[in-house]
Amino acid sequence: MTLSSLYHYGDEVQRRIDEFVSLEREASAVYDSLPEEKRDAYFQLVLYPVHGAAYINLKHLYGFKNRKYFGQGRMIANDYLEKTKEVFTALKKETLHYNNTMAGGKWQHMMDDDIKGLPVSGKVKLLKLKPEKGSKLGVIVEGEGIPAHVKNDAETEQPGQSHDTLPRFNRYTKRRYFIDLFNSGDKPFEWRAECEDWILLTEASGSIDDGRRILVDIDYARAPKGAGVEGGILISGAGSEYLVKVSLFNPAEPNLEGKVFVQDNGVIAMNASNFDRSMDHGTAGWRTIRGLGRTGAALALMPFTAPTIKPGMANAANAPSVEYPVYVFEQGNAGIIIHAVPTHRIHEGGHLRVAVSVDGGAPVELEFEQAHEEVDKIGKINVLRNMMEGKAEITLSKGAHTISIFGVEAGVVLDRIFIDFGGIQKSYLGPLETVLVSR
């Protein structure tokens, strides 16, 4: 749980919360629509398992936010304290219904929401924040876990430190980033934000009791052209001012079209199933499996009897492959990192690996770190995180390239692919896809 990031890639923790809340509501809506005589069966087979998974996850996710926000002095930490208690109570209530009410109490003692010895069971650590007297504005920007400095505050500003700059906006990916405004005091206050006309805010003023999240976007047609455009957002409230810095990659050229994965904030990120072209060799090829992996689909080398290609021998003439078009703006050495669904070798003495080629050049072997016995530590870790990882080194010049991944050993199931120029931040799922957006 603690591997999930609050500050990178759109707040991974909040994304997971939103997905579980949506799932919970969808399952509840179906239950409410059913006639009375069908509700017990649905509750047993669908609603309780869905709600149980949601409440357990939300208990830990809300608790995680409570503790992190407590440490930052955000009064909204107390909201997450109450949310954690609510889902903890809801799970106990539904467990009692399952055991004592559903089907006339037929399944008494069948379910237990507090299994001793399991970390996911029981209560989580919660902290109640005592507010400061009056009002106090705080600002945290996406990409930083430390509150921003008050504008021109010489006492808090440290040489070489900056906690007030959003990730660089990019006209090719058109991603939005967030700014969190929060109150550390016991009184609400009014706030406002001022910025250049090409910087777009979901809100520019309002009142804050405990916290508010503002989304920042760019009007690319209005913004100045250039690779290093700079701007700022001046946020004021409760007697303080913060200047959030905005940087923008908005060159006039190149004009890219179609499916292409672009370099953005030091990384190119691709979902394996979102390939551009797939080429079989004989009966062997990469096959999409929906619902598998961390992204909704994974790519498996099939059949499991596909021949093994010796190290250093993979090429388009003897191995199936998939291709991904990429574009590099800032050339350099990079690490190619591939996340795969954790599997075990099929052939005795084999190694879970693929071969990676750039523009049809000599392939680079990439082997996944995986245990061959389930009791080994790395095997357990891979199962828990639903991912095994392999890394290799490549060099990419500026411009367009084609990344080919050859299937050389049956049993490999690809999930995500990253080309890291030094920009990957610590997180659970990794960077969002950096696919070209034409809006």
Domain ranges of the chain: 12-105, 137-250, 261-420
To which CATH superfamily is domain 137-250 assigned? Immunoglobulins (2.60.40.10)
Average pLDDT rounded to a whole number, residues 232-243: 93
Rg (CA), the chain: 25
Respond yes or no on whether the N-terminal peptide bond of residue 254 is cis (omega within 30° of 0): yes
User: pLDDT grade, residue 379 (50/70/90)?
Assistant: confident
12-105 and 261-420 agree in CATH topology = no
Q: What distance lies between CA 95 and its chain's CA centroid?
A: 31
In one-letter notation, the amino acid at residue 198 is W
- 383-393: average pLDDT: 91
Q: Which residue, 49, 53, 28, is CA-closest to 39?
A: 28
Confidence class of residue 65 from pLDDT cuts 50, 70 and 90?
very high
More confident residue, 17 or 380: 17
Is there a contact between 320 and 355 (Cβ–Cβ < 8 Å)? no
| Interval 353-361 mean pLDDT | 94
Query: Which CATH number describes the domain made up of 12-105?
Result: 1.20.58.2150
- Residues 6+ positions from 281 with CB-CB distance below 8 Å: 318, 319, 320
Strands 332-340 and 399-407: unpaired
3-state SS, residue 235:
strand
If you write DSSP's letter for every residue of 150-191 in order, what string do you get?
PTT-TTT--TT----BPPPEETTT---EEEEEEE-BSS-EEE
Q: Is the pLDDT of residue 286 over 60?
A: yes
**How far apart are the C-alpha atoms of 48 and 220, rounded to whole Å?**
47
Q: Which fold has domain 261-420?
A: Jelly Rolls (2.60.120)
Q: Can you give the pTM of this predicted structure?
A: 0.89
Report the pLDDT averaged over residues 307-318: 80
Give the per-residue pLDDT at 151. 56
pLDDT score at 245: 95
Number of neighbouring beta carbons within 10 Å of residue 382: 21
Please state the rounded mean pLDDT for residues 338-342: 95
What mean pLDDT, rounded, does the chain reach? 91
* Residue 66: Cβ-neighbour burial (10 angstroms; 0-12, 13-18, 19+): buried
Which span out of 159-168, 236-245, 307-316 was modeled with the highest average pLDDT? 236-245
Q: Are 16 and 4 in contact (CB under 8 A)?
A: yes
Task: Identify the pLDDT of residue 378.
Answer: 85
